[in-house]
Chain A
């Protein structure tokens, strides 16, 4: 799924990284807890979060996320936006709630990230 399709599905606004709009996203993960993101994420992930401090962008950079979607009308702070621009990470904003945003993407076949315990069950 391209970022462009994600923007359309989530009725989102893109505020930086517009040049990546045709990039393909293969999987996504959603959490407000960066501790968890650091533990489960895989490179290339679409990070969906409602945590809007600059550490959310920092975490996305460290885990090599392809883009970040902020849900619930959240917007990263200026420092976060500056960092996203520097690291060339696209930022999308949507008013949708976390569950709705994730559900919409999942129902359009955007896969999740599976942990070891998921595989066992």
Chain B
């Protein structure tokens, strides 16, 4: 953890296929945010988006890193993964579209809601991907206006 000029940054590693640990990082981020006095609705949106992003790395990538930055104006999450990448991003953003395995569906996930749900909860969302290399998500929450609710 580094702290300078009211900026808090942290890095978390996410292991692919390690379903039992999915959600640990969102819990930690939620705890960090709860100590800051940020409004509950923003914390909740950030926790849901982080969890969805973690699950995506677990289900579709070999590994990933989640970079968390908190400054007085925003919460920024960047998730860089190494994996197969996304062939058609506009398709992946459609609710209900999924390439999840049957195994993950039986575990209650992979319904093609993850990326749309991240976008819905975020104030700003960027996604880029290189096929065969990996995917990068950038998720922003702004603290000084109401933003999405």
Residues of A with C-beta under 8 A to B39: none
Q: Chain A contacts of B6 at CB under 8 A?
A: none
Is B37 part of the contact surface with A, judged by Cβ < 8 Å?
Answer: no
Interface residues of B in 1-28 (CB under 8 A from A): 19-20, 22-23, 26-27
B26→A38 contact, CB < 8 A: no
B112 at the interface (CB under 8 A from A): yes
Chain A interfacial positions (CB closer than 8 Å to B): 32-36, 38-39, 43, 51, 53-56, 58-59, 61-64, 79
Flag whether B113 is at the interface (Cβ < 8 A): yes
Name A77's closest neighbour in chain B (CB-CB): B20
Q: Which chain B residues numbered 26 to 81 have a C-beta less than 8 Å away from chain A?
A: 26-27, 30, 40, 44, 47-48, 51-52
Q: How many residues of B contact A (CB 8 A)?
A: 24
Number of A-B contacts (CB under 8 A): 61
> Smallest Cβ distance from A49 to chain B, in angstroms?
8
Q: Contact: A38 with B113, CB < 8 Å?
A: yes
Distance of A38 Cα from B22 Cα, bound (Å): 14
Complex CA distance for A44 and B114, rounded to whole angstroms: 21
Question: Interface of B with A (CB < 8 Å)?
Answer: 19-20, 22-23, 26-27, 30, 40, 44, 47-48, 51-52, 107-114, 116-117, 120
A51 contacts B108, C-beta separation under 8 Å: yes
Contacts of A32 in B (CB 8 A): 108
Main secondary structure of the interface of B (DSSP, over half): helix
Q: Assuming A54-B20, A61-B27, A62-B23, is B109 touching A35 (CB within 8 A)?
A: yes
CB of B115 to closest CB in A, whole Å: 11
- Give Cα A58–Cα B27 distance, bound, in whole angstroms: 9
- How distant is A72 from chain B, measured CB to nearest CB, in Å? 14
Partner of B113, one of A36, A56, A63, A64: A36
In contact, B26 and A39 (Cβ under 8 angstroms): no
Residues of B near A62 (CB, < 8 A) are: 23, 26-27, 30, 47-48, 51
Q: How far is the CB of B16 from chain A (nearest CB, A)?
A: 16
A39-B117, A62-B47 are contacts. A34–B109 as well, Cβ < 8 Å? yes
Please, how many angstroms separate the alpha-carbon atoms of A42 and B67 in the complex? 27
In the bound complex, what is the Cα–Cα distance between A61 and B48 (angstroms)? 10
